[in-house]
């Protein structure tokens, strides 16, 4: 069995913009191509269900324009290899990070960290 990453980008998303799927995928690919993660640190993790947790992370990354750093709140969901939401007794599962975290890093949109 191939080695799996602990955290991956979510395979599922909601198309709120109602754009064609191939256009949205292209935009995501283009955005992620120019973000180089330099440092990633968990500040807080709260499990709200067996398949969901809320995490606060600190990141430093290089973008096309500059190096950015700050804290982000992430929604993380646990999926099975087949793409279903994982249950506690499921094996070979992985956690996925919401896709807008790349957008937030790329545009330097971090939380203020005061809470």
What residues does each domain of the chain span? Answer: 7-11+19-106
Rounded Cα distance, 99 and 68, in Å: 18
H or E stretch covering 29: helix 21-33
- Is the pLDDT at 12 greater than 70, yes or no? no
Give me 3's structure tokens: 């080695």
Q: pLDDT by residue (tens digit) across 29-67?
A: 776 778 888 998 989 999 888 888 899 999 999 988 899
Q: What is the mean pLDDT of the chain?
A: 78
Mean pLDDT of 63-76: 90
pTM comes to: 0.64
Q: What is the pLDDT of residue 22?
A: 72
Rounded distance between C-alpha atoms, residue 90 and residue 100, angstroms: 27
Highest-confidence segment of 6-10, 20-24, 31-35, 56-60: 56-60
Which tokens is 114 given? 């005061």
What DSSP character marks residue 111? B
Q: Provide mean pLDDT across the span 100-104.
A: 81
Residue 69 pLDDT > 90: yes
Nearest in space to 95 (alpha carbons), one of 16, 42, 25, 34: 42
């Amino acid at each position: 069995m191939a080695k799996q990453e602990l955290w991956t980008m979510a395979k599922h998303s909601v198309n709120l913009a109602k754009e064609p799927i191939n256009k949205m995928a292209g935009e995501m690919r283009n955005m992620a191509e120019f973000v180089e993660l330099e440092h990633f640190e968990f500040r807080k993790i709260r499990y709200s269900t067996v398949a969901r947790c809320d995490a606060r992370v600190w990141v430093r990354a290089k973008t096309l324009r500059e190096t950015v750093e700050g804290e982000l709140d992430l929604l993380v969901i646990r999926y099975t290899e087949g793409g279903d939401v994982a249950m506690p007794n499921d094996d070979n599962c992985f956690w996925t990070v919401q896709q807008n975290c790349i957008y937030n890093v790329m545009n330097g949109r971090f939380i203020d960290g005061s809470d």
